[in-house]
Amino acid sequence: MVLLSCMAVSVLLSLCLVASAEASSTTWTQTYGGTNIDEADSVIQTSDGGYALAGQTNSFGAGGYDFWLLKTDAYGNIEWSKDYGGNEWDGVCSVVQTSDGGYALAGHTWSFGVGECDFLLIKTDAHGNMEWKNTYGGPELDVVHQMIATSDGGYALAGYTGTAGANSLDGWFVKTDEFGKMEWNQTYKWEEFDIASSVVETSDGGYAIAAKTKTSGTSNFDFWLIKTDEHGNMEWNQTYGDENHEQPNSLVATSDGGYVMAGYTVTKYEDEKIDVDFLVIKTYGNTETNQYDIYEYDYNFGYFTYTFVVSSNSTIEDFNFDMHQKQISFNVTGSNQTTGFCKIAIPKDLLDGDFPVYLNGEPMTEGKDYTKTYNGTHTIIQITYSHGTHLIEITGTYTIPECSTWTTPTILLAATLVIVIYKKKRST
């Protein structure tokens, strides 16, 4: 459950006004609420330039906490407000403006429905008067975290269920028509706890869902990205995380067909202190780039072994490191009309430099075709391209300084393809 600590709803907006050649900034602040706890959880700008805020109120309404919808003008002045709920706890997670000028609100309800806690979807007219409400759930705990309006005029709600799933808590996705009638629902489970937090409709008519998943026997969660078809059937899924606790709270689709998830990561230290930081993950969007192989290539210099690691959704062949030319080269192959990528980790102690990248002998553009980062031990170069068969070449500036021309024949230089270690894809 969410612990509430706000005593009023506060909105702070900065509006930038342009007059002649000068720009000025005007800031206004408004608070809304009564004598008890009132919390805003969602805000949108409305078609008339004002704002609609939705949350939960303990100051007004019929019960402990009720849905609260508040409409303001462009300066935050209240035009009207409405509350909806029963005798128990009812709280909003999302609000959208509908095509008829009204509003749809979604959240959890302990007042209505058939179970302990259910999804609740409310539709209002343009003045906040309720037109209908529907609940979704069973006898156990069913909690919604986000609702969106869909292109067919209906609604999609994502959260978790203790009723419909096979495990203790599973991700739950509900699709309704324009009147809130359930058209279908899907559960998503990995192992123990799976909780959906955000959903977007995708350009192919399907959906992408951000969730967190907990593996049995551990105490931490990972980001979990799920792509479905138009009926919620899973097409692919991918987890992201390490030994820390990671949780996504928001998901957007990007213009390149990928996704960005934002949330937080929790690091635990031996002295029991914890550190909580923002975590943002950018992904590729299509099926091909969300399943990839990892290759390792070991180069032995006397007593030292240096490893190149390549992650790619392409087939990698003919990997070669030419120490004299200070150059890495390899071939990539994949299905035409799909997007290819490879990410290569280059040991800094072996090869360093500016690393220009060439595709079939032509220079690629940094920031557009490839990116470079450094993690303290390796330079990471990530390259994207249209699939086909291509030769990729990466040139460094210097190699191990001890390896002069006359000593090279005395050093055993062995390049070994270790094999594909694992296929980085989770599927149902």
* Residue 3: band (very low, low, confident or very high) from pLDDT cuts 50, 70, 90: very low
Secondary structure of residue 323 in the 3-state scheme: coil
How would residue 242 be classed by pLDDT, with cut points 50, 70 and 90?
A: confident
Q: What local confidence, expressed as pLDDT, does residue 327 receive?
A: 95
Query: What digits encode the pLDDT tens for the residues 372-421?
Result: 888 778 899 989 888 889 999 999 998 875 444 434 443 334 444 444 44
Note the pLDDT of residue 78: 95
For residue 27, is pLDDT > 50?
yes
User: Looking at residue 339, what is its pLDDT?
Assistant: 73
- What confidence score (pLDDT) does residue 220 get? 79
Dump pLDDT digits (tens) for 111-153: 998 888 999 999 999 999 999 999 999 888 899 999 999 999 9
Q: In whole numbers, what is the pLDDT of the chain averaged over residues? A: 82
**Mean pLDDT of all residues in 223-229:** 89
The per-residue pLDDT for 401 is 57
Residue % of the chain over a pLDDT of 70? 82
Stronger pLDDT, 271 or 206, i.e. the higher one: 206
Report CA-CA distances (Å) from 104 to 72, 169, 183, 294.
16, 26, 17, 45
CA distances from 252 to 148, 149, 199, 225, 354 (A): 12, 15, 8, 11, 33
CA distances in angstroms from 248 to 63, 168, 210, 278, 404, listed in the order given: 31, 20, 7, 10, 50
Say how far apart CA 313 and CA 335 lie, in whole Å: 10
Cβ pair 197, 146 in contact under 8 A: yes
What's the pLDDT at 14? 34
Q: What is the pLDDT of residue 284?
A: 66
pLDDT at 228 over 50: yes
Residues 84-105: pLDDT tens digits? 988 888 999 999 999 999 999 9
Q: What is the pTM of this model?
A: 0.64
CATH architecture of 35-289: 7 Propeller (2.130)
List the single range of 34-43, 256-265, 279-288, 355-364 with lowest mean pLDDT.
279-288
Least confident range of 18-27, 52-61, 324-333: 18-27
- 366 falls in which pLDDT band (50, 70, 90)? confident
Taking only the tens place, the pLDDT of each residue in 36-73 is 989 999 999 999 999 999 999 989 988 789 999 999 99
Mean pLDDT along residues 9-13? 39
Task: Tell whether the model's pLDDT for residue 426 goes beyond 50.
Answer: no
* pLDDT over 60 at 425, yes or no: no
Between CA 238 and CA 317 the distance in angstroms is: 25
Quote the CA–CA distance of 399 and 378 in Å, as a whole number: 13
- Domain residue limits, the chain: 35-289, 290-417
The confidence band for 318, taking pLDDT boundaries of 50, 70 and 90, is very high
Give the whole-angstrom CA distance, residue 391 versus residue 220.
Answer: 41
Rounded-to-integer distance, Cα 12 and Cα 159, Å: 28
